[in-house]
Amino acid sequence: MTYILKTWDEFKNYQRTCYRNYVYASEGLRCMGSTWSVLAPLKGLGEDVYIIGGEPHAASTAGTFPEESREDISAAESAGLGFHSCSYLKLFVGEIVRDKIAIPDGTIKEGYPKPDLIWTTHLCTQHSKWYQEVSRRLGGIPMYAIDMIGGGNAEKDPKIVKYVCDQIEEGIRWLERVTGREFSDELFIKAARNEIKVLVLWGNICALNRHAPAPLDERRLIALFPPAMVDRTTDQTVRIYEALLKEVRYMVETGESVVPDQRFRIVYFGLAHTYGHPEIARILRDAGAEIVASVYTFGTTGNFRGFVNGNWSWEPLDPAWVDELDLSSRRDAISALAKIVLGWPTWQGVRSYWALEQMARAMVTEYKADGLLLAPSRSCETDFRNGYIAIQRIFKNEIPTVEYDTDQVDVRKMDLPGSQRKTELFVHLMEAHKKRVHDK
Amino acid sequence: MSKEKILAGLDAGHVNTKVIIMRGQEILGYCTVPTGFDVVAAAQTALNDASDNVGISHGELGGIVATGIFRDMTKVPPLNVTSTVPEYVADAKGALFLNKNSRTVIDIGGNIQKAIRYDQNGNLLDVNQNDKCADGLGIFYTTIAKAIGLSEQEMSELALKSTNNLFIAIQCAVSAESEAIDLMCQGRDIADVADAILRFIVERVADMCTSMSLTKEIVVAGGLAKSQALIKHLSSLMKQDVSALDIPEYVGAIGAVISYEGGK
Amino acid sequence: MNEYSSVNKQLDWRRAKVIVAGVDSGAVSSKAVILLDGQPYAFSQVRTRTPKESAFSAINAALAKTHLGLQDIHYIVATGCGRAQVPFTHKTISEIACSAAGAVHIWGPTVRTVLDAGGQSCKVIHCTEKGRVTAFLWNDKCAEGIGRSMEVFADLAKKEVTEIGNIALQSDQFPKISDFCVVYARSEALDLIRSKVPLEQVIAAYHYAMAKRISTLVARLGVKKDFVIIGGLAKNPGIIDWLESILLVSSLAPKPEWDPTLTVTLGAALFADAFYRRQQYNISAPNTAGKP
Amino acid sequence: MMKKGSKAIIEYFRHITENTHEYAKSLQGKGQLLAGYMCTHVPEEILYAAGIIPVRILSSHVSQAMTRSYLHETYCSFSHDCAYQGLQHNYDYLDLLVMSSSCLHMSEAFNVWVRFAGFQQKSFLIPYPHIIQTKPAGGFLVESFGEFKQFIEKFAKKSITDDDLERAIKVYNQNRRLLKRLWEFLRRDNPPITGLEIATVTLASQVMDKQECNQMLEQLIQRLEAEPGKAPSGVRLMLTGGACDDLRIFDLIEHLNYSTNLIFIDSCTAARYFWFEMPEDRPDKLEAIAEGYIGRIPCPAKDNVPGTGEKKRFRFIQQFIEDFKPDGVVFFYQRFCSPQPHDIVALKPILNKLGIPSTELELDTTVPITRFGTQLEALVEIIERVAP
């Protein structure tokens, strides 16, 4: 019996409201940037701060308006952007070139809403160049990019934490200068606690998929993490994720799932391919093969134990720990934020293959996977493109492993025919593997 | 596998549709026709032509097993296909039939490549398929030969005569073609260009193979396997012996026949 | 291999003051144009294996029906990727410059943008009313071979390359396939068979994809009117149609008297004519290292 | 004869670029420790201070099979080629491999060496800011270099004194000044040396013992000063873009069917490698080194002025254009590189304003001579206003 999520609508509404607020805000501050950044500092500027994030916006546009996004991407290329640049980036800039913006409520607004400022990260070699291009095209929007340096175990390296904290502190002074507003530590600290809480809650929700049957599947996970991506600093986000955690716990107790038929449990390393590849998801589902754990949906806005004396653990963090965090000063809040964000699994892999390898290994065992599905994303500059290539050669002899050619949102670079072939094969290999294990 | 019955293996590929007709272990005849975007028509023709040169009628076939990328489309009335089998399964069975000691087959098709590892009974152990940029190597080989005005056979023989190593970009067939053309514009020797073209294909194939472990003996299937130059370069690049199967383009079709009624 | 040549019998080279030729030397084919006092006189097009051979047979084919000899030609300019291989030329000029010169001669001084959509490459060229190039853009590596891919695609579909362009016009409803590179596009087109898409739709889809890819290149440099399209793809109505509707700009219709694939060769001949006259009035030609 | 002299020295440099392994091994023969580096953000001074000769990993330009199952096929050919050097064990003689967290393609090439080419035990990755202009970047870099210094001291089993560092800084500064002087010859109308020759020398300097390199450079410059210039220069072409150790490209540019001169190369295998200096005689040496690297022409992957998002690299490029007066600009970048094309989008309008035409070369392992040749000749024809 397929379980229907009760909290579903709240998630959809929250996401839509955030975008509507940004697009239609008559006064207040419009802030743009990668939501792969610490967001709470923006909230120190007041209650009327509206955020639009590059990756989530590009992703949900691609999901809601496949044809539009195709045109956006080629518009960006016609405007001169590199044919091999990040497709999130091109979709995003393409909207500016076409002077319109699409939002997940299904509407398209003519006239691109200019941001007041850009607050973003730089980690891969494109992250901040993305917004440099945006700023240039919109006539010089002030921007501040924080170098998230990254690397496995970064949150436990005092040198890195200090570096990031100093940048955030400097950034807060910049925010005051550029907006002429006074920065409220009270608002900031409140937002910071929320931000951390949401990340920890999401980690707990994902971790429940270790049960069989896994209560959630990749398609639901992809649909449920945007609120945390779009704006995770509000009381409401905390509320809806607490509600979701409660509901999923209940599902586990009653052994229910959004997809009851789970003959094969798959661990997925790649970007959220279903944005561009619903067909692939269908093939897997028809074969009773479900993605039960995915580094992207788990680790982009979720936190886990991470490295515990040298070994990676997907054990979630205790939400209560967040409430006890001492955030009495600005610096406390900043460093708590820096640590949690640097701890994101999706950042551990960047430039640290060993972390990526360990995460994959841990996920395969902790989630009792029957197969490992890799999907390097052709235009992603981080380990989402390259990291998985070598993983295939490492895991192929241990567990059925298949690698798709795909791309975050550029359907033209996805290999649909190939992925279909490989998916059939994948299921075949997993069956054969199960049989061999059983015969032994 | 049933001894008396005459069986047909139908391999409906991207570019060519191949049919083989067998009685037990004995190969009676075979035939290839271009698929030409009409799988059923191509299959029909191939089956008829093959039957003809074996001297039987389509109706006398005791069973037809289809494989290949378009296998599912052959399950239509006029063809009365008995059953279908995935191409990697068929390849493994077919390769094992043609060479009992083989444990890995590299199938270089018109549009895609596969490396398939199997046990002594032809059961699948692991498979690797090419990246998107490496699609269409077979098509490329046919068309570049045509462009230069050579047959595929001549191209391969020329390559063996090559005296110096030229290189073309190994990204994809498109880059390869334009760089091969570029070399010719520079007035380079065609033998060397032909060799560079074959080495490009081999590099792409060999590279796909290295991310999985291959067990001996390694054999090559697909029309390109008929090129001695390709086999030569493949062996030297992979630092392992690889050999071409006889009638390499029919490996899938043969495997299909052998899989008849689950290969009993 | 196939060979084609023609002569304008109206003209008599014995009366001509200036006899020049342009040779476009490609890898596997070459073309030649002979001008008498600036008037088109003889054309040829040949396919052979090496640039050297094909250049020779091209000029010889052009000369064949004229009783002219190579020595009678005052000045020869070679262009095309094999231009450096042509032994009997006075000067070489890039096909970019020749495209513009030829296009302006054929379509007149209003031409500002030339798209040369050939077998291996696509070049977008901006020029002045005199046919002088002011800017150009060459396709990126992932957009190579679009022209050639049409022949390959036709082969796969068991059709003539001349047919498919018209078939592409028959349907405007079709699934979109990758317009990023011809390899991707072809794989996805082949895969459409599985979803039982009718052939004419597959052909339309393929043409749309290729036109879309070319359109981004044209847009990158920008289209200034008048816009003309030359090279092999100029003969493909499917491509032209989609290009124009994607770019929202129409191109000037091809001139009946000029095969668009001869534009570059004509350009080379025009350069030869100009250089020879300058030589006569010893006006110095552009700086060259004295090669060849 | 003098002229022969400069030619001979240039030949020597060229020989080194063509036989880097032979050269490096000869140093090793003399008991030198060798450290390979894959990115110019590696502080060579620290290695040099410890008596280790830094040798830049260069590619071989033969089409590299078999790397595509280690590195994604859409990574740039330079990273593939460098990864290939490891997998082929061409550099096994190195005592150490050093990388700084720079562009991701090269970082992954480094990872291939570490994971699959046996360098696990003899490699070091220096965490390096991805935006060099932030205030905290300097401090972070000093700490990072500090950790690197400690590692090197353990590795070389000797402590690195401030004097050692100061000596290294001075040797390297000297080398940078000399290379700069060499390139400045090309500001003349009839320089005694060609861009190709200087590019060759510059490439050689990246694998050489800097002391030896300096001596050679001094002799070379001395003789060049005494030599008459070559024929008046033709069309002046400036290159700007990414890593390119393929001298065939520069050779092509100077051997077109028109007379052309290569007058400047802004790339991490040319100007970006040496067009900066470290402050000398500073009490804190690591601080001096960090300041030097932060002040250099930014790599497009690390270039972003906080607050405005300005690209500082553009200021340098505009300065070079002013000083070297190119008639045309050639953008070149590795196929699949992302940062470079991003910059080109924004640079083109600047060039258009200056009325300088340009073209783009998309580099790969192989060089399509006729295609690039045609692009470049067409560029020259634009500059020369060639028309019938």
The answer as to whether A364 is a domain residue is yes
Q: CB–CB of B207 and D364 under 8 A? A: no
Same domain for A346 and A309: yes
The answer as to whether A235 is a domain residue is yes
CATH number at residue A171: 3.40.50.11890
The answer as to whether D320 is a domain residue is no
* CA-based nearest residue in chain C for residue A72: C216
The answer as to whether A173 is a domain residue is yes
The answer as to whether D34 is a domain residue is yes
Q: How far apart are the C-alpha atoms of D367 and A86, rounded to whole Å?
A: 26
Closest CA to D328 of D228, D219, D242, D233: D233
Same domain for A241 and A383: yes
CATH number at residue D148: 3.40.50.11890
**pLDDT for the residue C289:** 40
* CA-based nearest residue in chain B for residue A376: B131
Q: Are C86 and C92 in contact (CB under 8 A)?
A: yes
Same domain for A161 and A196: no
Contacts from D374-379 at CB under 8 Å and sequence distance 24+? D374/C81, D374/C94, D374/C95, D374/C96, D375/C96, D375/C138, D376/D237, D376/D252, D376/D253, D376/D256, D376/D260, D376/D330, D377/C94, D377/D256, D377/D257, D377/D258, D378/C94, D378/C96, D378/C97, D378/C133, D378/C136, D379/D237, D379/D328, D379/D330
- The secondary element (H helix, E strand) that includes residue D30 is none
Distance from CA of D372 to the nearest CA of B (A): 10
Q: What is the length of chain B?
A: 264
Q: Find chain D residues with C-beta within 8 A of A153's C-beta.
A: none
Q: Is D148 part of the contact surface with chain A (CB cutoff 8 Å)?
A: no
Residues 188-227 of C with CB under 8 A from D: none
**pLDDT for the residue C291:** 38
Indicate the DSSP class of residue A351.
T
Name all domains of chain C by residue range, CATH numbers in brackets. Answer: 1-108+255-292 (3.30.420.40), 112-251 (3.30.420.40)
Fold (CATH) for B6-89+251-263? Nucleotidyltransferase; domain 5 (3.30.420)
CA geometry: angle at B5 spanning B1 and B10, to 5°? 80
* CA-based nearest residue in chain D for residue C133: D382
SS3 D45: helix
CATH number at residue A229: 3.40.50.11900
User: For B82, how many CA atoms within 13 A lie in the half-sphere containing its CB?
Assistant: 18
Q: Find chain D residues with C-beta within 8 A of A353's C-beta.
A: 111, 114-115
Span A71-107, pLDDT tens digits: 999 999 999 999 999 999 999 999 999 999 999 999 9
**pLDDT for the residue C286:** 53
Q: Find chain B residues with C-beta within 8 A of C156's C-beta.
A: 15, 34, 36-37, 139
The answer as to whether D285 is a domain residue is no
Among residues A182, A206, A241, which one ends one of the domains? A182
pLDDT exceeding 90 applies to what percent of chain B? 89
Sites in chain D below the pLDDT cut of 50: 1-3
Q: Find chain C residues with C-beta within 8 A of A83's C-beta.
A: 140, 142-143, 180
Sites in chain B below the pLDDT cut of 50: 1-2
The answer as to whether D185 is a domain residue is no
The answer as to whether D47 is a domain residue is yes
The answer as to whether D282 is a domain residue is no
Can B6-89+251-263 and B101-244 be said to share one CATH topology? yes
**pLDDT for the residue A385:** 81
Which amino acid appears at position D340 of this protein?
A: Q
Domain boundaries, chain B: 6-89+251-263, 101-244
Give the closest of D235, D259, D362 to C141, CB-based.
D362
Taking 3-state DSSP, the helix, strand and coil percentages for chain A, each rounded to the nearest 5, stand at 55, 15, 30
Distance from CA of C194 to the nearest CA of A (A): 10
Q: Does CATH number 3.30.420.40 belong to domain B101-244?
A: yes
pLDDT band per the 50, 70, 90 thresholds, residue C47? confident
- Which chains have at least 3 CB atom pairs separated by less than 8 Å from chain A? B, C, D
**What is the span of the domain harbouring residue A204?**
190-439
The tokens for A141 are: 């929007």
Q: Which of C94, C128, C284 to mutate to test the interface with D (most CBs of D within 10 A)?
A: C94
Give the closest of D130, D143, D336 to A122, CB-based.
D130
The answer as to whether D134 is a domain residue is yes
Among residues A133, A151, A182, which one ends one of the domains? A182
HEC string for chain C: CCEEEEECCCCCHHHCCCEEEEEEECCCEEEEEEEECCEEEEEEEEECCCHHHHHHHHHHHHHHCCCCCHHHCCEEEEECCCHHHCCCCCEECCHHHHHHHHHHHHHCCCCCEEEEECCCCEEEEEECCCCCEEEEEECCHHHCCHHHHHHHHHHHCCCCHHHHHHHHCCCCCCCCCCCCCHHHHHHHHHHHCCCCCCHHHHHHHHHHHHHHHHHHHHHHHCCCCCEEEECHHHHCHHHHHHHHHHHCCCCCCCCCCCCHHHHHHHHHHHHHHHHHHHHHCCCCCCCCCCCC
Q: Are B94 and B259 in contact (CB under 8 A)?
A: no
The answer as to whether A2 is a domain residue is no
Give the closest of D234, D258, D387 to C132, CB-based.
D387
* Paired strand residues for A101: A109
Q: Is B118 part of the contact surface with chain A (CB cutoff 8 Å)?
A: no
Phi, psi of A306 (to 5 degrees): 75, -145
SS3 D41: coil
Same domain for A203 and A75: no
Same domain for A98 and A43: yes
Span C199-230, pLDDT tens digits: 999 999 999 999 999 999 999 999 999 999 99
Same domain for A205 and A148: no
Q: Are A338 and A367 in contact (CB under 8 A)?
A: no
Q: Please tell me the total count of domains within chain A.
A: 2
The tokens for A159 are: 């040198």
**pLDDT for the residue C27:** 78
Indicate the DSSP class of residue D52.
E
**What is the span of the domain harbouring residue D59?**
27-164
**pLDDT for the residue C288:** 47
**pLDDT for the residue C48:** 77
The answer as to whether A369 is a domain residue is yes
Q: Are C227 and C112 in contact (CB under 8 A)?
A: yes
Q: CB–CB of C187 and B136 under 8 A? A: yes
Among residues A182, A199, A217, which one ends one of the domains? A182
Same domain for A235 and A97: no
**pLDDT for the residue B58:** 79
SS3 D325: coil
From the CA atom positions of chain B, what is the Rg in Å? Answer: 19
Give the closest of A125, A147, A151 to D103, CB-based.
A125
Q: Are C13 and C36 in contact (CB under 8 A)?
A: yes
Q: Find chain D residues with C-beta within 8 A of B179's C-beta.
A: 366, 368
SS3 A52: strand
* CA-based nearest residue in chain C for residue D255: C289
Same domain for A151 and A206: no
Q: CB–CB of C286 and D386 under 8 A? A: yes
Sites in chain A below the pLDDT cut of 70: 273-276
Q: Please tell me the total count of domains within chain D.
A: 1
**pLDDT for the residue B234:** 96
Residues 52-111 of C with CB under 8 A from B: 52, 80-82, 84-85
Distance from CA of C8 to the nearest CA of B (A): 31
The answer as to whether D80 is a domain residue is yes
Q: Find chain D residues with C-beta within 8 A of A140's C-beta.
A: 308
Q: Find chain A residues with C-beta within 8 A of D341's C-beta.
A: 81-85
* CA-based nearest residue in chain C for residue A416: C188
The tokens for C41 are: 């006189």
Strands A29-33, D328-334: pairing is: unpaired
- The secondary element (H helix, E strand) that includes residue A396 is none
Span B168-194, pLDDT tens digits: 988 999 999 999 999 999 999 999 999
- Which chains have at least 3 CB atom pairs separated by less than 8 Å from chain B? A, C, D
Same domain for A350 and A219: yes
The answer as to whether A3 is a domain residue is no
Give the closest of A83, A415, A420 to C142, CB-based.
A83
Q: What are the start-end ranges of the H helices in A329-409?
A: 330-342, 345-348, 353-366, 383-395
Q: CB–CB of D74 and B133 under 8 A? A: yes
**pLDDT for the residue A389:** 84
The answer as to whether A322 is a domain residue is yes
The tokens for A116 are: 């007041």
